[in-house]
Amino acid sequence: MTEPTAPITQDVLTFPRKDAPEGTGKVNLVGLTRDGLREVLIAAGTPEKQAKMRVGQVWQWIYQKGVRDFAEMTNLAKDYRAKLDAAFEIRLPELVTKQVSDDGTRKYLVRIAGGHEVEIVYIPETDRGTLCVSSQVGCTLTCSFCHTGTQKLVRNLTAGEIVGQIMLARDDLGDWTRAGEGMGERPRLVSNIVLMGMGEPLYNFDAVRDAMKIAMDGEGISLSRRRITLSTSGVVPEIARAGEEIGCMLAISFHATTNETRDKLVPINKRWNIEDLLEALKAYPKLSNSERITFEYVMLDGVNDTDEDARRLVRLIAGIPAKINLIPFNEWPGAPYRRSSPERIKAFANIIYKAGYASPIRKPRGEDIMAACGQLKSATERARKSRAEIAAEAGLGEVRIGGYVTGAGGE
Ligand code: SAH
Ligand code: SF4
């Protein structure tokens, strides 16, 4: 077994890049939609008649080949390349550290404008590679089991910073289409995207939508909408919009089968409760047996993991084409919960299975580098909420920890 690799810095990347998080003052092309790109190219002197073609060419260089220097865009005239270089830049978030887990999971810490930091996780599997990207620095919500929830929202990420995370991983993995190679000739290393990193994607709707549209564009990163999963805690009014404007797969942080428990675990439930949420899900477009909604359910010892919970869960979601994803709780320092025992998780999974649902238990990945779901949190300690604040916001009087009761109040 290999030792987990210590954090290593940018200079050992496959493709060394020099990204200044604050940029150069030039307009960054990364994150512009096709229309946005067209506008800025015209503003920089591209004749309108040529604009469509130039957008296509620049787009392919950036999003298919991963080129970051206008000088390499060899199908453009030299003076036009110089013009682009004078007005624009192609800038990704700055890579601060990269950690590689025993199991091959990679965690990148990146810095964005303002000096803020977010994390990205790459999970390789035999037949695919999933990249877990962040949508916000911190989160406005305060789910009481989530490490990100202990960090106040610092800001929304821009579309460029979101799609930039995918590009950065492609850089590191050497996952771009190479010179002389046809698109899609080699299997993709980043074949799936999950919006399950830091933040609530539906509270940063426009940037998430634009970034995912760019990722889906067939002349660029070219990921099918069915390989992109957006996870939400349940921002009910934005769910239909996600279906219409992004069209990706949906995962719901369900986590409880009564409003009383869900209010404590996922406090947004106090605004839109289980009934409101289920109604919005039933109306999600394209819902079918081949495009099912994933119900994420974190297994917390003594909190939401009884046989009765399992039975209630299948009753609640009856009629919705669904997958249930059981997530053993990933502990973090100071977390007010414990993971349910493997026997409890199996018994819970069995009830769901007998009711006709596949109920995969998510295998925690990258635990040795704190890269597992819900463990992401920037090291910006000044932005940290105290447990008392979280407990107060969640209306959490006391929390049961594996058999004994503890006040959630003290830090
Ligand atoms: N804000 C979005 C997406 C990010 S969280 C959401 O809440 O859905 C991604 C998933 O990880 C969610 O299902 C979340 O509930 C879960 N999660 C958060 N903290 C966790 C932890 N400590 N252990 C296991 N899963 C966790
Ligand atoms: Fe935010 Fe999702 Fe964590 Fe809740 S689970 S605090 S919504 S990131």
Query: 142-197: per-residue pLDDT in tens?
Result: 999 998 878 788 899 999 999 999 999 999 999 998 878 887 788 899 999 999 99
- The whole-number pLDDT of residue 349 equals 95
Whether residue 215 contacts residue 163, with contact meaning beta carbons closer than 8 Å, is answered with yes
Q: Which H or E run includes 257?
A: none
Q: Give the ligand whose atoms come closest to the C-alpha of residue 143.
A: 2
Cα dihedral across residues 388, 392, 397, 398: positive or negative: negative
- Eight-class DSSP state of 242: I
Query: 364-406: per-residue pLDDT in tens?
Result: 777 766 666 555 554 443 334 444 444 444 444 322 222 222 2
* Residue 42: other Cβ atoms inside 10 A: 15
Residues catalogued as catalytic: 119, 373
Is residue 202 very low, low, confident or very high in pLDDT (cuts 50, 70, 90)? very high
202, two tokens:
């539906």
Measured in Å, residue 146 CA sits from the centre of ligand 1 at 6
* Distance between CA atoms of residues 63 and 66, nearest Å: 6
- Eight-class DSSP state of 146: -
Mutate to test the pocket of ligand 1, among 120, 141, 253, 295 (most ligand atoms within 8 A of CB): 253
74, two tokens:
């060899």
Residue 278 has pLDDT above 90, yes or no: yes
Q: For 292-307, what is the mean pLDDT?
A: 97
Superfamily of domain 94-407: Aldolase class I (3.20.20.70)
- The whole-number pLDDT of residue 331 equals 87
Residue ranges covered by each domain of the chain: 25-89, 94-407
Whether residue 205 contacts residue 162, with contact meaning beta carbons closer than 8 Å, is answered with no
Mutate to test the pocket of ligand 2, among 200, 253, 272 (most ligand atoms within 8 A of CB): 200
Residue 207 has pLDDT above 90, yes or no: yes
How many CA atoms within 13 Å lie on the side-chain side of 149? Answer: 26
* Distance between CA atoms of residues 78 and 87, nearest Å: 15
- The whole-number pLDDT of residue 241 equals 95
Residue 13 has pLDDT above 80, yes or no: no
CATH class of 25-89: mainly alpha
What residue owns the CA closest to ligand 1's atom 26? 374
Alpha helix (H) residue ranges in 253-406: 259-265, 274-282, 307-316, 342-354, 387-394
DSSP string across 182-216: -TTSSPPSS-EEEE-SSS-GGGGHHHHHHHHHHHH
327 lines ligand 1 (CB under 6 A): yes
Helix (H, G, I), strand (E, B) or coil at 370: coil
- The whole-number pLDDT of residue 262 equals 98
Task: Using alpha carbons, select from 368, 334, 400, 408 the residue that is nearest to residue 151.
Answer: 334
Measured in Å, residue 89 CA sits from the centre of ligand 2 at 33
Beta strands in 54-115 (DSSP E): 88-89, 94-100, 106-112
- The whole-number pLDDT of residue 264 equals 96
pTM of the model: 0.87
Q: For 346-370, what is the mean pLDDT?
A: 83
Phi, psi of 250 (to 5 degrees): -120, 140
Say which residue, 398 or 34, is predicted with more confidence.
34
Residue 353 has pLDDT above 90, yes or no: yes
What Cα–Cα distance (Å) separates residue 353 from each residue in 258, 262, 366, 376?
Answer: 21, 23, 27, 30
Measured in Å, residue 151 CA sits from the centre of ligand 2 at 10
* Distance between CA atoms of residues 68 and 94, nearest Å: 14
236, two tokens:
């009910």
Query: 98-155: per-residue pLDDT in tens?
Result: 999 888 999 999 999 988 989 899 999 988 999 999 999 989 999 999 988 787 888 9
| Maximal C-alpha separation, the chain | 72
